[in-house]
Structure 1
Amino acid sequence: MLFLDRTERDGFPTAAGELPVVGHLPILYRDAIGLLRRSSRALGPLFWVNFGFAHRRLFYVKADALDVLRAPAVVMDYTANLKAIVGRSAAAHDGALHQHMRSAINLSFSPQSFVKGASATIASVISARIDAWLQRGSIAVHPAMRELSLEIILRVCGVPTEDLPAWSRAYRELMLGVYPIPGRLPGLPAYRSRRARAWIDDRLRRLLALAREGAGGGGSLIEALSEARDEEGKSLSDQEIVDNTRAILLAGHETTASILAWIVIFLSGGDELRNAIYEEHTAAPDAFPTSFRDAQRLPVTSAVFREVLRLYAPGWFIFRTVTDAIMLHGRRIPRGTPLAISPTCLGYESSIFPDPERFDPSRWKDRSGSPGPLDLAPFGAGPHFCVGYNMAYIEALQLQSAFVRTLRRTGLVPRLQGPSPKQVYFPLGHPTPSTRIAFHPR
C-alpha cells in the first residue's frame, strides 16, 4: 500500500499524498506551497500535514492566520530536532524568559544604531563580491549569495572571516537537523547537526571571552550583547549570548541568502527592471541606502524586495502549540494541538494579490507607506517578529543598487543559464542550487 488510509485525525482532514513513515516530506521538499494551496482548496483552511516520522501539524491556511501568532493561548513550539539548532535563544521561548532576552537584544540590534552602523560593512562586502562574480564570468546563484550573506553577518557579529569556509560548512551541517530523521548515530542528520553546533559554540565562547576581557576590537554584536541589559537591568548569561548569536548568524545568512538569490535571478531576466532600479538609485542623494527613510525614496527597489518575499519566503512554516482551547474558522482547536501557519501561503491570497503566481513588483506601487502585517508576514508577527528584518531589508536594497551600477559601469549583462529555477523548501526555502547566471558583454 503506497498511501495511508487515514484521511481524518481528531476531526480534521489530512492532506493528500501522505506516505508511510516519511509522511508528506517528499512533497514538502519540492512543492510545499503547492501542497498547502491544493489542500486548502480541497479540504478547507484546517488540515493535517505530516512532516515525516509522525511529526504532524495542523495547518491553518487563511488570511487571518497571523492573528494566531498574537494569541496568548498559542505559544512557540519547536520540535526536538529544531530545539537542538536554536537552543536557549529568544526564538525558542515565550513569557518572561523571552522578554528578558529579546529586550536586551533589541537594544543591541536597533535599526537606528547598530543596523545603520553596519551599513558600511554591508556595502563594502557586497561591492567586493560583485566584482569577484563578474571577474569569474558566472556564478551558481544561491551558493554565491550564501557566501555573501554569511560574510556580512560574520563581520557584523565580530567573527573573523578568514574562517569563512569552515563556518559555511558548519552551518550547512547544523541545518541538517531540520530533517526529523530519528537517531543520533554517526552520519545521521541529528549527529552531524549536533557536532556542527558544538564547533560553532566553541568558537563563539572564545569570541565572547575576548569581548568580556575588552579585547574584541570594538563595535561587534557579540561585544554589544556582552554589555547588554534587559528592561530590568539584568545582563545576558554566556549561554544566552552564545545561543542567540548562533541563531542570529543562522537567520542572518540562510534566510537572507535565499531572498538575495531570487532578487538576482529576477534582475537577470531583462533590462527593464535593471534600468528602473539604476535610474532610481542614480537619482537618490545617497549611493547606498542605510535606513527605512532611505528606502522610502526607492519604491522600485523596495517593491522588488517585497515581491520576492511574497513569492518565496525562506521560512515558509511557523510552528506553535495551543496551551488553551481556541476557535479557528468556527472550529474548536483543543489544548495541546500542534499548529502551523505558512507566511508564504498568505502571499498567494488572490483577494489581496491578484494573479498571485506572477512576479509583479508594480503591485506594490500604491503601498509605499510603512509595511503592514501581511507585508511583513515572512518575518513573523507578535513577540517573535524577526529581529533581523531591518538588516535584511538594507542588504537587499544595497545589493540591487551595487549590482545594477556595476553592470552598467562594466557593460555586462547577466543571463540565466539552463532551465528556469524553482523553489526548494528544505532545509529552508531557496532556489534550485544549480541555478547559474553568466555575465556577457552587452
Structure 2
Amino acid sequence: MSGVLSAPETPVPTVAPVVVPRNWKTPVVLVVFSVLFALVVLIAHRRGETTFRLSTGSDAVVLPDFVVPVAVTAWVSIVASVLLTALAAWYAYGRRRVPLWLISLYILVIVFGFLAWAAAGKTLPIPGLLAGSLALAVPLIYGALGGVIGERVGVVNIAIESQLLGGAFCAAVVATLTGSPTLGLLAAMVAGAAVGAVLAAFAIVYFVEQVIIGVVLNVLVAGLTSFLYSQVLQPNAATLNTPPRFDRLPIPLLSDIPIIGPVFFRQTFLVYLMYALIVIVSIAMFRTRWGLRMRAVGEHPKAADTVGIDVGRTRFVNVMIAGAIAGAGGTVFTVGNGIAFNQEMTAGAGYIALAAVIFGQWHPIKATLAALLFGFASNLQNTLKVVGSPVPSEFMLMLPYLVTIFVVAGVVGKSRAPAADGIPYIKS
C-alpha cells in the first residue's frame, strides 16, 4: 500500500576476505639444497661413468645395467632441481601448498644426481640399496604407526623410543629362552603395551604433561635395560641373549619381479606383518567406527563425550594398542636379524619415527613413506662407504639426521596436528 511506510533496509555487513599468507619455507629450503649440491659438484668435479646395477644374480629376469655419465647427470639433476624449486615458488606465490608429488620428485632428482656423482667410476647395486633401506625403515614404520594412533587419539607419544627399546630387550630374552621368534615378538608387543599403559595412566588419569612423561619413560627404559644388560644378560649371554631369527619367506612369483621382488617380497614375517598393519591401520582409521571415535576424541573430546564416547577409555586403549605396535618394531633390532641385545641399540630410532609422524601429517600412509625416506638416508651412508665414495664419513653419519631436519623443518610446510593432541580432557 502506498500509505504504509516501509522499514529501512538493514545494511548487510561485509565480510573481509580471508587472506592466506604466502608460505616460502619449502621453496627456500629447496633453494638451499640445490645450491649446496651445485657447489659440491663445482668444487669436487668428477668424471667418468656410474653404473646402476638393477638385478641380482638370483633374479628370474635379469635387467641390464644402467650406465650414466657423471658430469652430465649431475648438472641435469641440478637444472631439474632448480626448475622444480621455481615451480614450488610459483605455488607459494599463489598462496597454495606445495604438492607432495613435487617434493617427492625433487628428492628423487637430487638423490639420483647425488648417487651418480658420489659413485663415479663404481657400480651401485640398486636392489641391495633398496633392500637395506627397507630393513632400516621397518622399525621406523612400526614406531610411526604407533605414533599416528597415539596422537590421533590426543596423546603425544614421545615414548616411542622406549617402546622400541623395551620391545627389543624382551624379544631377545623371551626368544632365547623359548627358541621361538614368534613368542619373542609377542613379548615385545606386551612390553610396548606396558610402556603405553604407563604413559596413558600418567597422561590421561593424572594429567601429567605428556611430553615430560614421554621423555622420562625413554630415560627410564634406557637405564633399566642397560642395567639388566650389564648385570644379567652379559654374564649369561649364552642362555639369555642369543635370540633366533625369523627366516626369510619368499613369495612365489612376486619375489621374481625385477627390482621390486627382491626388495619387498623376499622378507621375513616381521616385514609382511608390517605390510598388513599399514593396510589395517589405514582402513580402520578412516573407514570404521573405531577410527571415527578415535579421531573424534583427538579432535574434539568434549563433543565426543556429549554423544556418549568414553574419552578416557578410548584414549587409554588406543595408546596401549599404539605401544604394542611400536614394541613389535623393537623386535627388528634383535629377533628380526638374530642379533643379541645391546645397550641403547635403537640409537634414537624412536625420535626419527616421531619425525616421520609429523612429516606424514599424522596419516599412516604418509608416515610410512616418510619412514622409508629416513631408512634410505640411513642406508645410503653404508652403501657409499662400500663403493668408496669420496664423501667424508662424518658427513655420511650425519645424513639421516640432516634429512630429518630437512623434511620436518622445510618440506612439511604448515602441518596441523589433531586439535586436542597433548591436551588432557577433564570432564566437567
TM-score greater than 0.5 by the shorter chain = no
- TM-score, length basis structure 1: 0.25
Q: Tell me which protein shows more helix as a share of its residues.
A: 2
Bigger Rg, structure 1 or 2: 2
Q: Higher relative CO (CA 8 A, sep ≥ 6), structure 1 or 2?
A: 2
Higher strand share: 1
